[in-house]
Each structure stands twice: as C-alpha cells, then as structure tokens.
Structure 1
Amino acid sequence: MQINATLINLYHVCKRQMWLHAHGIRMEHNSEVVAEGKLIGETTYQDRSQKYTELQIGKIKIDYYDNKNKVIHEVKKSNKAEYAHIAQVKFYKYVLLQHGIEGASAILEYPKLRQRHVVEWEKGDESVVQSWMMEIQKLIAQENCPPLEKKNICRSCSYYDFCFSGE
C-alpha cells in the first residue's frame, strides 16, 4: 500500500484508526467533526482555488499549493492534533523533494482560531519521514488491529463507537 498524507496524519493521532482506515474500515461519514472540518476547508478561503493549484503526485494530493512561491497551504479545523498536522505537511515536503521540487515551504492554517504556523523543514526530517513510512508499512501489514489506546481525543473520533462499543 502506498503511504499517503492521511495515513501519516492518523499514525500520529491513533495507530488503531490508521490501521482501520488502511484496511478500508472508514467511519468518517458518520462524524459531525469531520463534516465540520471539510466545511471549514471548503468555505473559509473561497478564492483559494483561484490563487493556488491542486497538486497531485501519484496518489498524493496537496489541495492548495502556491506553485509560484512553492508554498503548501494546509487548512485544519483545530490545532488539537497539531503534531499530526506538522507531520502531514512534512510528508508533503518530502514527496516534493523526492520529485525534484526543492525549497518548498508550508503553512498550517487554523481559520477558526485565526492562527497560521509556518512549518520548517529541519535537518534530519527526511530520515524521520522515512522512518514513519516504514513503521506505517509494518503496522498496516499486521493481521490484527492495534489495541485500543484511550486518549482524550477519542470522544470526538469518528471511530468512537467502533472502539468503545464492547466496554
């Protein structure tokens, strides 16, 4: 399976959710939180699609890429899983580097919070991203779903009923 940005993000949020998603068990369609996030992404910056392009490299899709200035713009609903968001845009930068696009930068945008964060590419990030990808491949290849890890974020997760129905 090809690693994509969703798997990178989920790997940093919940390995169980990542495994389920990778195996085609999707619950996002039941989630108001996911729906709200999509709505924010689609309606907050309405002129965005005119200013920036969607960049697709293989199965990797960057929704908003400023081709002229080489800037990835990633819009998120909340900063609760900010490390996962940072990992996601670092993965995008890694993919760009692998395809000869050097010097790209990234901005995480949280419109509800009126915050923007520049994500820097640091020395050693290439090997870090590669290690995430190898670990994700290993986890996905496992026959069984990783065990439940109870986290604060679980209450708003689209997989909540799946994970906690037997308790």
Structure 2
Amino acid sequence: MRLTGTHIAYLHTCHRKLWLFAHGIQMEHTSDTVAEGKLIGETSYQDRARKYTELAIDGIKIDFYDAKNKVIHEVKKSDKVEHAHIAQVKYYLYILKKNGIDGATAIIEYPRMKQRETVEWEEGDEESVLRWVSEAEAILANESCPPLEKKSICKKCSYYDFCYAAEEMG
C-alpha cells in the first residue's frame, strides 16, 4: 500500500484511526466536522483552482501547488492537531524532494483563525519522515486494530461513534 498524506496525519493523530482508514473503514463521509472542513477549503480561496495546480505524485495528492514558487498550500479547519498537519506537509515535501523537486516549502492556512504557518524542509526531516513511514507500515501490518486511546480530540473525530459504540452501551 502506498502511504498518503492522510496516513501520515492520522499516524500523528490516532493509530486506531490510521489502521481503520487504511483497512477501508472510512467514516469521514459521515462527519459534519469533515464536511465543514471541506467547505472551508473550497470557499476560503476560490481563485486558487485557477491560480495553482493539483499535483498527484507517488500516492499523494496536493490540492494547491504553486509550481512557479514551489509552494504547497494546505488548508485546515483548525490548529487542534497542528503537529499532524506539519507532519503531513513534511511528508509532501519529502515526496517532492524524492522526485527531484528541491527547495519546496509549504504554507498551512487556517482561514477561520486568519493564521498561516510556513513549513520548510529542515536538517533531520528525512530521518523523521522515514521513521513515520516505518511506524505507519508497522501499524498497518497488524492484523488487529489498535486499542482505543481516549484523547481530547475524540469527540470531534469522524470515527467517534465507531470507537465508542460499545462503551456507550456498556
């Protein structure tokens, strides 16, 4: 299986969510939070589709890539799991670098918060990304789903009902 940016983000969010998503149990389509995030991405920068290109390469899909300036634009709803967003764009930068596109940067945009964060490729990032890939592959190779870890972000997660159904009945 080819890893995507979503896999890397989920690795940094919840191992259970990563495993479920990778094994075809995808709940994002049932989530109001995910729908709201998509709407923010689609309506916040309406001229982007004309200005930037979508780039699909080595299993990743970057929605807004400024090829002229080598800048990835990633739109997020909130900065609640900012470390996962940074890991996702670092993975994108790694894939670009691996395919001969050096010197790219990323901008993570949080339109509702009117904030932006620039992410650059730094010394040691390749080792980190390779470690993340290895960790994700190890989780996905397990035959059974990782156990539930109760986190503060669970209530907003698209997998909440799936993960907590047995708890609410018991």
TM-score, reference length from structure 1: 0.99
Amino acid at match of 1:137: E
Larger deviation, residues 104-113 vs 49-58: 49-58
Could you list the per-position Cα deviations for residues 35-87 of structure 1 after superposition, in whole angstroms to 9, with x for gaps in the alignment?
00000001110000111100111321110000000000000000001000000
Give the secondary structure class of the aligned counterpart of 2:153: helix
Give the secondary structure class of the aligned counterpart of 1:166: helix
Larger deviation, residues 67-76 vs 116-125: 116-125
RMSD: 0.6
Indicate the residue corresponding to 2:43 in structure 1.
43
Distance 1:55 1:120 in 2: 18
Distance 1:135 1:13 in 2: 13
Q: Is 1:128–2:128 an aligned residue pair?
A: yes
Amino acid at match of 1:9: A
Distance 2:34 2:62 in 1: 18
Distance 2:40 2:33 in 1: 11
In structure 1, the gaps of 5 or more residues are none
Identity %: 63
Indicate the residue corresponding to 2:118 in structure 1.
118
Moved over 6 A (4+): none
Distance 1:82 1:59 in 2: 22
Q: Is 1:88–2:113 an aligned residue pair?
A: no
Indicate the residue corresponding to 1:165 in structure 2.
165
Distance 2:165 2:138 in 1: 27
Indicate the residue corresponding to 2:137 in structure 1.
137
TM-score, reference length from structure 2: 0.97
In structure 2, the gaps of 5 or more residues are none
Indicate the residue corresponding to 1:11 in structure 2.
11
Say whether the 8 Å CA contact 2:104–2:120 is kept in structure 1.
no
